[in-house]
Structure 1
Amino acid sequence: DTQIKIRGFRIEPTEIETVLTTHPHITQATLVHDVHLTAYVVATPGSALSPAALRGWLRERLPEHMVPAQFAVLDRLPLTPNGKIDKRALPAVDAPLTTTGRQPRTELEEIVRTLISEVLDSPAPLSIDDGFFEHGGHSLLAARLTNRISTTLGVTLTLRDVFQHPTPATLARRIADCSGRPALTPLTRAASRPELLPLSFAQQRLWLVAGLSGGGSAYNVPMAVRLEGELDVAALRAAFGDVVARHEPLRTRFATVDGTPCQLVAPADEAPWFEVRSVTPETLDAELLAAAGHCFDLAGELPLRVTLLRSGASRYTLLVLLHHIATDGQSLRPLFADLSLAYAARLTGTAPDPAPLPVDYADYALWQRAALQGPALEEQLGYWKTALEGLPEELGLIHDRPRPPVAGQRGGVVRLDFGAELHERVRELARAERCTPFMVLQAALAATLTRLGAGTDIPLGSPVAGRSDEALSELVGFFVNTLVLRTDTSGNPAFRDLLRRVRTADLDAFAHQDAPFDLVLEAVNPVRSLARHPLFQVCLALESGPAAGPELAGVRAGAAEPLATGAVKFDLEFLLRADEDSGLTGAVLYSADLYEHGTVERIVAMLRRTLEQVVAAPELPLSEIELLGEAERRQVLEEWTGTRRDIGEHTLADRFEEQARLRPEARAVVFEGREVSYGELNERANRLARHLAEAGLRRGDLAGILLDRG
């Protein structure tokens, strides 16, 4: 009568309890079945038992389906008054399947993790390093997983694939390998370096942009960290020197030799620019912005500047200013982690001794130049030429002002905070539709732009991490590539259908993310203009998790906050962050040459309203999404309508013809000194109407008419 059934298997809990009590360090054991099978054990005094060790020990003695998904080690088991185990008094095991492993780095990893969590009925998301079988998976569920992957991604896997690649990270790589694309050669440390180190493709793009724009601060990455406590400034200065010595991009200059740009890596003992200044609280923000607006000389100085502003007793603001050519979003975590370790070592008067990096950035640049050629590159570029064929020269979104002949960098910022509740509903919709939160946001933004008149072919630029090899995960450097994600909103689809279009298009795009943006640009060869960014003018980026920041011993340090310097790269750039605590937040950078601040605020409000509606009703067609708020709707329908007057049942055409009949000689139109009467205008209109009717046009047909202005 104690038998339970889990995913088709009948299990006798006492069998598992008996095996557990044979463990040399377990004195008591009991099992509870809710959503998952949970084992509670009492260990012998002084012994250390971990859930992972228990799981491995049981797996050697029991079938996979009898191994509990969750373990709890207690000092004692609660008892009822008559001495039996009181299972109702056992403590809950909070979020047992959540680990401290890595979060998804690509959309494919996010989808695979979602599918695995769904099949396992996991109460909390797994990391990409969590094993399928360690969290309750077995052969029947593995078969179900392969079916879900086939339905969602169109890739056929076998049970052996799941057993050999049991984590989301390894299974995502297996899925990518099954796509039939030519594989890139593995990244390894270069045996020797040439005399001239080439730039990576991403670095070369920024080097060219810097040359065309004459510098500027649009590609600055300024991060401000608030510090409070007894800061050892000398130790901090030395720690930054240690970080620069460890990560070559932070001590690299970019020069031209015989017309070819190359990397000049400075010696490891070259210290970065480090300045300490005292400021008042009132002038702090202005000082930060002034320092963040520094224009880097890429050939003459290191791409890192550190400014420490002291604004009171034990109160500091640390500005870490990097040029984008030496860093990206995923570089900030290893940068601040290494800084924290180095500071702790310097406080004790010693140098840090971190584990050596498997490769350096120069190895990556050499590998990229060698690997991206031949069939591998041809296949990638062939995809992009097809995917971007016929792309509009410019997004049709209306601006507040005409586009200037040469794009400027003057911009502004609108902060956004969509909150935790909307963020959670976005995640729920993503899970239900087997896609990612980014895809939901992309579809919502495309729908909003379409409703604002941008057309039904919406290209959005989006950065991807570009760290496909594990060896790159702990490096500071510029690995980001930019993809053009094309969204087809035609046909007034339901949002759920639009989301499926986005998922299909994005997965294809992400499968071809190795092709550098500049090579894609050359292959697609759009009409070029200095007035706008090529291929796309609106960018969307989503970062997950809390912002990175240093942990300095004896000092309270906040997270690194990006500063808006007033410089922009695109017409609109949506920089969003999704975090468990704060929800969906971020900022929209906009070109002040094109938009007023209030216009961008309205676009942000419309995006929020779109998200709120589609997460509540994914079947809603795009035409039924209400973009206007109550106040705006009232303004359009009531305040702007002017004096109301009953005009009866007559149409405008009826009233025009009546005027032509009653006063055919009256003046109807005046243009550059010429006049047309009502009678003549009516005759011209009727002549045009007969011509269109003879051409086969009928009421309700859609037609475009081109006439000279006159």
Structure 2
Amino acid sequence: MVKEQDVRNGSASAGELSRSEASPAGRIQREVPLSYQQQMRLRRDVAFLDANRPIDNHPAGAVYSVTGPFDVVAFEQACGDLLVRHPVLTIGYSLTSGVPQTGYLLDPALFRVRHAESVTALANATNAVHRSAFAPDDFKIQITWAPSTGSETGRILIAADQIAVDGNSWTTLLRDLSQAYELRLRGRSLAELEPAADYAQYAAEQRASLMSAELTGRMAYWRGQLDPLAPFGEEVLAGARRPPAGPRSARQIRYSFDFDLLLAAQETGTTPFSLAMAVHAAVRYVRSGRSVVTTHCTADLRGAEYANSVGWFSGVLVVRHKVAVDDTPAELGSALLGSVFDAVDNAVPLAILQQELEPDRLRSRHWQPMCFLDVRDMEDQNSLQLAGCTLTEIEDDLSLPGLRDGVACWFTSAGQRTDLLMQFEAEAWTRDHAETFVADLEYVFDLVLQDRDCTIAEMADRDWPEQRQPRNKVLFT
């Protein structure tokens, strides 16, 4: 049974949080510095608005089916506690005067859990999030509750704007909300816990580091890492063609491999991420004939003091590595992981690299066949827990990242299967190229599982037909 106790009093309906409620006028607690990631995101938002395009954000999000006794009042109180603990969720900013250097914090008391009349109405709210529902002067989190009938008590939609919550922070947010709800059921609150470090402090520290001698040293590392190597991106997509000037469109692939990436990594003595990187590198080396491979990946760049904080701590890293053909995939994966750690130690925002190091070669807004890679253990994702209730996460694409130039691959491991979600530019790559790339990945994974001592050179000597077909059906969207 759901305990409501006048929960609708003062609450907005799904998708209808009033701008007047979220208005900064007279309600600003304090101004806060913006991080470099936020600043660049706002710069892009301004460019989109100037071009009369909708702001393109890619929120973290999830939809949960709830069964069992659910206390809506305690849940709403828990949501308020969450905003007090993580002020970045209340950040607002105005784009009317160009790109701001600072944001402002809205009063958490203005936040309301939205109420949908039914699960169908909640689905409409979910679609609104897909349509970039986060506005500059809004709260950076949306939570919608919808009652249901039958055995299901209801459903909860949680979505957070990327400008305030990255993938790593998403698990922290769900953990804290789970704990806040349990505490509220006992008449207590998150305020009892040790405070989390404020993201505004991280933003100020990051801004200071980008104006220090430390940045000079890091730029020297990247000049040595990037300049002497092969032209940026040329080795990634065999057969790719430069698309004509104009708009670009994305194609998406879903594919299920017949193996468990986690188990394969254990058997080869490596990690899922480094094994996926090694297989990618092997395929690109064989297909392009170039020994230098380029991969883009995200990394959590926060220090230990921000381990319990929410914010945008992730950065995109450029990883450049020269393939040693006598390495096994496990050895190549370890070496690639070492290159990732070096990139983390010398992390510089990608936009600064683009500005400082040969802009024509590094500029991401022009076509370049680069590769983005991520691996997620779906069983290890920290999910929402509500004391006394059973929650089932409903599969949804709310957290689908945006297309990057070239190809972007996300491996997700769940149970006994490994799924691949891949995006590519339709103007640069054909459907046949995409299917061959998937089949090549499958072929190399098979080789690794059959013979962990097989070297990259030995793989290159195998049969590599111009077109290879994957075993299972490739789903194109």
TM-score (norm 1): 0.54
Q: Secondary structure at the match of 2:359?
A: coil
Out of 45, 48, 55, the position equivalent to 1:213 is 48
Aligned residue type for 1:293 = H
CA contact (8 A) 2:296 2:372 kept: yes
Cα deviations across residues 666-691 of structure 1 (Å, max 9, x unaligned)? xxxxxxxxxxxxxxxxxxxxxxxxxx
Number of the residue aligned with 2:184: 346
- Work out whether residues 574 and 589 of structure 1, in 8 Å CA contact, stay in contact via their aligned partners in 2: yes
RMSD, matched Cα:
3.7
Of 309, 313, 318, which aligns to 1:475?
A: 309
Report which stretch shifted further, 548-557 or 489-498. Answer: 489-498
Matched, 1:438 2:273: yes
The answer to whether the 8 Å contact 1:327/1:476 transfers is: yes
| Distance verdict in 2 for CA 1:223–1:599, change over 3 Å | farther
Out of 70, 81, 104, the residue aligned to residue 264 of structure 1 is 104
Q: Does 1:255 align with 2:255?
A: no
| Aligned-pair CA distance for 1:197 | 2.8
User: Considering only CA atoms, is the larger Rg found in Structure 1 or Structure 2?
Assistant: 1
For residues 458 and 474 of structure 1, what CA distance do their matches in structure 2 show? Answer: 35
User: Do 2:92 and 2:105's aligned partners in 1 also have CA atoms closer than 8 Å?
Assistant: yes
Question: 2:349 is matched with which residue?
Answer: 516
Confirm or deny: 8 A CA contact 1:492 1:623 kept in the other structure: no
Alpha-carbon distance change, 489 to 470 in structure 1, aligned in 2, over 3 angstroms: closer
Residues 320-339 of structure 1 show CA distances to partners (whole Å, capped at 9, x for unaligned) of 12221111121122211221
| 2:131 paired residue among 294, 307, 329 | 294
- Identical-pair percentage: 21
The 3 A distance-change label for structure 1 pair 632 and 372 is: closer
Per the alignment, do residues 338 and 297 of structure 1 end up closer, same or farther by CA in structure 2, a change over 3 Å counting? closer
Displacement of 1:573 in angstroms is 1.9
Q: Which residue of 2 aligns with 1:606?
A: 440
Work out whether residues 196 and 262 of structure 1, in 8 Å CA contact, stay in contact via their aligned partners in 2. yes
The Cα shift of 1:202 comes to 1.7
> Secondary structure at 1:326's aligned position in 2?
coil
CA distance in 2, matches of 1:290, 1:567: 16
Task: Give the stretch that moved more between structures: 261-270 or 386-395.
Answer: 386-395
Q: How far apart in 2 are the matches of 1:527 and 1:367?
A: 30
Match of 1:448 in 2: 283
Q: Distance in 2 between matches of 1:557 and 1:633?
A: 36
Cα displacement (A) at 1:295:
1.5
1:487 touches 1:502 (CA, 8 Å); kept in 2?
Answer: yes
- Say whether residues 1:377 and 2:215 are aligned partners: yes
Aligned 8 A contact 1:224 1:317 in 2: yes
Q: Which residue of 2 aligns with 1:488?
A: 322
1:103-118 → structure 2 map (5 Å cutoff): none
**SS of alignment partner, residue 93 of structure 2:** strand
Question: What is the deviation of 1:485?
Answer: 0.9
Question: Cα distance 1:611–1:407, how it changes in 2: closer, same or farther (>3 A)?
Answer: farther
Distance change >3 Å, CA 287–CA 269, structure 1 → 2: closer
Question: What residue in structure 2 maps to residue 242 of structure 1?
Answer: 81
| Contact 2:328-2:454 at 8 Å conserved across structures | yes
Deviation at 1:302, TM superposition (A): 1.6
Question: Deviation per CA, 1:443-501, whole angstroms, max 9, x where unpaired?
Answer: 2112223334484432111000112x222111111100111011334868664664465
SS in 2 for 1:619: coil
Letter in 2 for 1:373: M
Out of 355-364 and 256-265, give the one that drifted further.
256-265
Partner of 1:321: 159
- Number of residues paired by the alignment? 430
Q: 2-side partners of 1:573 and 1:631: how far apart?
A: 20
Distance (Å, rounded) in 2 between the aligned partners of 1:633 and 1:540: 20
Partner of 1:674: none
Deviation (angstroms), 1:357: 1.9
Q: Which amino acid aligns with 1:427?
A: Q
Gaps of 5+ in 1: 1-193, 635-710
Match of 1:367 among 201, 205, 213: 205
Segments of 5+ residues of structure 2 without an aligned counterpart are 1-28, 472-477
Q: Give me the whole-angstrom Cα distance separating, in 1, the residues matched to 2:278 and 2:337.
A: 9
What residue is the counterpart of 2:376 in the other structure? 543
CA pair 219-409 structure 1, distance change in 2 beyond 3 A: farther
Alpha-carbon distance, 1:233 to partner: 3.0
Higher RCO by CA contacts (8 Å cutoff, separation 6 or greater): 2
The amino acid across from 2:358 in the alignment is: N
Q: How far 1:366 sits from its partner (Å)?
A: 0.9
Q: Alpha carbons of 1:503 and 1:240: their partners in 2 closer, same or farther (altered >3 Å)?
A: closer
Relative to structure 1, the CA distance from residue 537 to residue 210 in structure 2 (aligned partners, 3 Å threshold; closer, same or farther) is farther
Distance 1:354 1:226 in 2: 29
Q: Hey, what's the Cα distance between the residues in 2 that align with 1:403 and 1:630?
A: 22
